[in-house]
């Protein structure tokens, strides 16, 4: 995890060490990277997971050396928002999943992928599930249900104010029955107006209100994102992820980092087509990239 002394890492460490991401029986070795001037801050952050006596935390390695941090990883979470080209990710020693969080997330993710050509580009993704979750939450609040009762939101494009939240496939559970969101809300003007604007500007609104970024929601979404990759998406549901396009989906040119709806099974993601089906010819085989930490 890069940027490990920051706010998001502080919120994230507990969930990872407690089994919310990789399961309740998977031992974890955390490798935390920070820049040299921030190592004192990182030391203070480490006091928290150590004090929690987290049951799955086998070891924590804190370092300011990239050659230590990026060796033999299974999953890399890039939290830092100033990814340096040809500095961080090029020195992976084994293939793994790379999740980019720091903004501009799509651009940073593409830069990371191109700086690490030995890692399959399909192993890189960026955090548009944050926008996906925010869209679910807005619909849930409007209807007085929980976010778990809302599924199949789509975020198109960037993790930024230029994204577009699409509700055409959204289903909502109301009184034990799944219905389309337009039928559930009966408020097309809200869905096409205030809803879109709120989701697009949610991050900026949090920063304006707190004077800090949305660390809690970002950390929770990172957990969701990695868990979906690790265990797959629930049957009948898809999620939004910023991934590399292949030129065959929704008219997006080849090799663009773009948020699409995807389903994940056996640590493999597939694009979801306009009719809700899965595009079989765009299977993303991760091969050994997502092996469990069986030796941990």
Q: At what angle do helices 215-231 and 129-143 cross, to 10 degrees?
A: 110
Q: What is the mean pLDDT of the chain?
A: 83
91 pLDDT exceeds 60?
no
Measured CA angle at 79 (ends 76, 80), to 5 deg? 120
- Can you tell me the distance from the alpha carbon of 125 to that of 264, in angstroms, rounded to the nearest whole number? 13
If you average pLDDT over residues 76-90, what whole number do you get?
61
C-alpha distance from residue 105 to each of 35, 90, 167, 243, 278 (Å): 20, 18, 23, 11, 25
Judged by average pLDDT, the poorest of 66-70, 92-96, 202-206 is 92-96
Task: Spot the catalytic one: 18, 74, 132, 159.
Answer: 159
All structural domains of the chain, each given as residue ranges with its CATH number in brackets, are 7-126 (3.40.50.720), 129-295 (3.90.110.10)
CA dihedral 247, 250, 253, 259 (to 10 degrees): -100
Confidence of residue 46 (pLDDT cuts 50, 70, 90): confident
Nearest to 33 by CA among 6, 72, 56: 6
pLDDT at 178: 95
If you average pLDDT over residues 37-60, what whole number do you get?
82
pLDDT at 261: 94
Question: Is 152 annotated in some ligand binding site?
Answer: no
Nearest to 183 by CA among 171, 165, 198, 195: 171
Question: Is 88 annotated in some ligand binding site?
Answer: yes
Condensed to tens digits (0 to 9), the pLDDT of residues 231-287 reads: 999 999 999 999 999 877 677 889 999 999 999 998 889 998 765 555 443 333 222
18 pLDDT exceeds 80?
yes
pLDDT at 107: 87
Peptide bond into 104 cis (omega under 30): yes
If you average pLDDT over residues 183-210, what whole number do you get?
88
Q: Tell me the pTM.
A: 0.82
> What percentage of the chain reaches a pLDDT higher than 70?
86
Q: How many CB atoms lie within 10 A of CB 10?
A: 18
CB 238 within 8 A of CB 262: yes
Per the document, the length of the chain is 296
The verdict on whether 132 is a catalytic residue reads no
Question: Checking DSSP bridges between strand 75-78 and strand 150-151, what pairing results, if any?
Answer: unpaired
CA quadruple 107, 111, 112, 118: dihedral sign: positive
pLDDT at 275: 57
Residue 32's DSSP bridge partners are 62
Tokens at 105, concatenated: 């997330």
16 pLDDT exceeds 50?
yes
Question: Is 75 annotated in some ligand binding site?
Answer: no
Question: Is 144 annotated in some ligand binding site?
Answer: no
Judged by average pLDDT, the poorest of 101-105, 121-125, 148-152 is 101-105
């Amino acid at each position: 995890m890069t940027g490990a002394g920051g706010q998001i890492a502080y919120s994230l460490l507990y969930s990872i060490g407690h089994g919310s991401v990789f399961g309740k029986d998977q031992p974890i070795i955390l490798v935390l990277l920070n820049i040299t001037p921030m190592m004192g801050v990182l030391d203070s952050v480490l006091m928290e997971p150590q004090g929690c006596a987290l049951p799955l935390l086998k070891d924590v390695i804190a370092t300011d050396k990239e050659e230590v941090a990026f060796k033999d990883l299974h999953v890399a979470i890039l939290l830092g928002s100033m990814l340096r080209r040809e500095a961080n990710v090029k020195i992976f020693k084994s293939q793994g999943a790379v999740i980019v969080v720091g903004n501009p997330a799509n651009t940073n993710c593409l830069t990371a992928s191109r700086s690490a050509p030995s890692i399959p580009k399909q192993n890189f993704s960026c955090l548009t599930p944050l926008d996906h979750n925010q869209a679910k939450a807005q619909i849930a609040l409007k209807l007085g249900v929980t976010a778990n009762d809302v599924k199949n939101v789509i975020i198109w494009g960037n993790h930024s104010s230029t994204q577009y939240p699409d509700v055409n496939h959204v289903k909502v559970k109301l009184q034990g029955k799944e219905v389309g969101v337009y039928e559930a809300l009966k408020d097309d003007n809200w869905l096409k107006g205030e809803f879109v604007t709120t989701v697009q500007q949610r991050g900026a609104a949090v920063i304006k209100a707190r004077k800090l970024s949305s660390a809690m929601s970002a950390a929770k979404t990172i957990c969701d994102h990695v868990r979906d990759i690790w265990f797959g998406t629930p049957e009948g549901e898809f999620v939004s992820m910023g991934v590399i396009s292949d030129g065959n989906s929704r008219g997006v040119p080849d090799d663009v980092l773009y948020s699409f709806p995807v389903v994940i099974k056996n640590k493999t993601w597939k694009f979801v087509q306009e009719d809700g089906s899965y595009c079989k010819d765009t299977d993303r085989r991760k091969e050994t990239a997502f092996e469990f930490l069986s030796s941990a």
